[in-house]
Amino acid sequence: MIRVLFYLAIIFVLALGGAWVAERPGIVTLDWEGYRIQASLMISLIALLAVVVVCIVVWGIFRFIVHSPGMTSRYFKRRRKDRGFDALSRGLLALGAGDSNRARKFGMEADKLLKGNEPAAKLLLAQSAQMSGNSEESRKRFEAMLEDNRSRAVGLHGLFIEAEREQEPEAARHFAEQASEMVPGLKWAGRAVLGYQAVSGDWDAAIKSLERNYSAKMIDKKTYRRHKAVLLTARALELENQSPDQARPMAKEAHGLAPDLVPAALVAARLFSRRGDYRKASKMLEATWKLSQHPDIPEAYSHVRPGDSALDRLNRVKHLASLRSHSTEGALALAEAAMNSKEFDLARDKLKSVLRSEPSQRAFLMMADLEEAEHGDEGRVREWLSRAVRAPHDKVWYADGVVSAHWAPVSPKTGRLDAYEWRVPEGEEVKGEQIEAIDDSLFEPPVLAAPAAPAAPVAEKPEAKVAEDVLDLTPAEKVEETEVKQPVVEQPEVKQEEAKVEAKGAATEKPVAPVAPVEAVAEVAESAAEKAPEETKEPTAEAADKPAAEDEAKLSEAEAKDEQTSEVKPEEAKAEKEEDAEAGKEDNLVKFPMSHLPDDPGPEPEGKDSKDDGYRFFR
């Protein structure tokens, strides 16, 4: 709009000038070589203007004729250049579309039209070869670009990528360091150098590279503090056992830069606890616990002072858990400390609350340990272990698809700094509806059943069969059989068998007595049947010996009657009664286990008419 007004103003001024000249007519006279030319002022001005225009046209024609060869050459050059840039543009588009063949074709055309003086055409050819997988050609083209200062940084970047593809970390690090020195603010070079230094464990050089990147404003302040804390923690862990005095300030600085970094707090607490500064170590762990609940923190907090009892460690864990109420990790840590101090009720309450809110494999395994430690109930232990198999996965150190039991400063897969996170691995998350319900009875202590009374010994033979067996035995064997059938607490089954063998051996040395009458046998069978129900109770040594003595007395009476009926001499009957009495005395003696039999057979019997030849058998 301003330009239009300017043109109108100029036209207006010219119109005013023409009107002014027209109002003042005059004659212009030209005398030259005897000629005189007279014309009005207006005509003279128009003629002068026409002459100027003609001169300009003639000069233009002359210049065109003179400069036409150069103009023609420049025209063709410009046209060739336009065609080259057009091919370059089409090649870049094909490269972006992933068509390496068309990109290489247009790159060759652009490089030919531009006579090899355009770095962009060289880059197009190198990248098209790189995309097609021709590493040898791409490497040569990138190396050729190092000769030109304009494309040297691009060539280093291409060689860096090729070195990474060929898995040559040393060469890749060399190219990245060269690019970083040439262009200090180059992001890819600075990050690559920092990453390779961290992967190789050169923590001091990595810290310097990180500070250089921060000075070049390649990273923000928050990232700088976090990465520096990670590098200092790695360096402190390396020097923890070799030089704790040098590692202590590094760990302290790392904890100050990133209070939520769990490894930094743990290594700092260990170093200060080793020096005896328990209060400082505890404060560091408490500050980190408030920001990040990790199971290693309660473990380190409870053992920050060596030599504490289990009850002292439990009290310390209680204090730490109170800093973050309703924390799952705090409840688990408190349950573990309670089990170590034999506070099983507290451990059961804490595990119950965790299993109700956030069940996990660790909680179920701890519940199995609690059942085994408190009650030793194998059924409950197997029940909790089976639930642990189906429970949600616990949190682990996870980075780029890699699960690790310990924290590391860089990812082992990609080399990324500060890649590890405390989280549940991908694909292990379990939805709420998939969690199996837990019955309340499982949390209650198991009810232990009272010990059952010993079962009554079952009679080996029925009553009638006992009578038949007794009829077939001699009187001495009847006595021994009756004694064997009585329950003896002091002797095991093996010792009873040995006693039976000894009794039978003694019976073979005695004279054979006549067969007892049927009435005596019936009386023995009835007495054995009456005493069978009473054997359900656990007999004592006296109760076991008393029935045996009674049975022996009855048998002796039956033998006496039999002797009278058989016309046995009184002297022989008296001798047999004395022998039976001695046998009853022997039965009343204290019985020892077979492993405690004395070597001395004992004193000889007082009776001169004894037929045991002075030997005495102990049962």
Q: What are the average pLDDT values for consecutive 10-residue runs of the chain, which has 619 residues?
A: 88 84 79 82 84 93 89 89 93 92 92 88 92 91 90 93 90 92 88 92 93 91 95 95 93 95 95 94 95 94 91 93 90 94 92 90 92 89 90 90 91 90 78 58 64 48 42 42 42 45 43 43 47 42 44 52 46 56 49 47 48 42
Q: Around Cβ 33, how many Cβ atoms within 10 Å?
A: 4
Q: Which residues contact 512 (CB under 8 A, 6 or more apart)?
A: 474
Give CA–CA dist 479/474, Å, rounded: 9
Q: How many residues does the chain have?
A: 619
> What letter would DSSP give residue 20?
H
pLDDT at 335: 94
In a domain, 492, yes or no: yes
Distance CA 515, CA 141 (A): 125
Question: What is the CB-side half-sphere exposure of residue 109 using CA atoms within 13 A?
Answer: 18
Contact 550, 531 (CB under 8 A): no
DSSP letters of 420-438? -EEEPPTT----GGGSPP-
β-pair partners for 586: none
How many domains, the chain? Answer: 2
Give residue 553's pLDDT.
Answer: 54
Residues 473, 111: Cα–Cα separation, whole Å: 127
pTM comes to 0.61
- Alpha helices by DSSP H, 240-295: 244-257, 262-275, 278-291
Token representation of residue 5: 């007004």
Q: Say what the pLDDT of residue 179 is.
A: 92
Question: How open is the CA angle 149-153-159, to the nearest 5 degrees?
Answer: 120
Domain assignment present for residue 41? The answer is yes
- Specify the pLDDT at position 574: 55
Single-letter residue type at 475: P
What value, to the nearest 5°, has the Cα angle with vertex 95 and ends 94 and 101?
Answer: 75
Type and span of the H or E element at 402: strand 402-404
For residue 20, tell me if it sits in a domain.
yes
Where a domain ends, among 48, 79, 110?
Answer: 79
Residue 558 in contact with residue 516, Cβ under 8 Å?
yes
Is the Cβ–Cβ distance between 422 and 395 less than 8 Å?
Answer: yes
CA distances from 407 to 125, 222, 296, 410, 420 (A): 44, 21, 11, 9, 7
Please enumerate, as own/partner, the contacts of 107-115 that have beta carbons within 8 Å and a separation of 24 or more.
Answer: 109/84, 110/84, 110/85, 112/84, 113/80, 113/81, 113/83, 113/84, 113/87, 114/81, 114/84, 114/85, 114/88
The amino acid at 42: M
- Single-letter residue type at 355: L
Domain finish residue from 63, 79, 95: 79
Identify the CA nearest to 390 among candidates 430, 355, 433.
Answer: 430
CB 510 within 8 A of CB 611: yes
User: Final residue of a domain: which of 79, 108, 130?
Assistant: 79
State phi, psi for 402 to the nearest 5 degrees.
-110, 130
Say if 555 falls within a structural domain.
yes
Residue 439 lies in a domain: no
Tell me which H or E stretch contains 5.
helix 2-23
Q: Say if CB 314 and CB 339 are below 8 A apart.
A: no
Q: CB atoms < 10 A from the CB of 509, how many?
A: 11
Instruction: Determine the structural domain holding residue 22 and report its residue range.
Output: 2-79
Give CA 197 to chain center in angstroms.
27
Inside any domain, residue 219:
no
**Backbone dihedral region of 52: left (phi > 0), alpha (psi from -120 to 50 degrees) or beta?**
alpha
Residue 101 CA from chain centroid, whole number: 48
Can you list the alpha helix ranges (DSSP code H) found in 146-186? Answer: 152-165, 169-182
Q: Which two tokens stand for residue 422?
A: 């405390």
In sequence order, which ranges of 358-474 are alpha helices (DSSP H)?
361-374, 378-390, 463-471
Q: Is 532 a domain residue?
A: yes
Domain for residue 145, yes or no?
no
Tell me how far apart the alpha carbons of residues 123 and 446 are, in angstroms, rounded to a whole number.
78
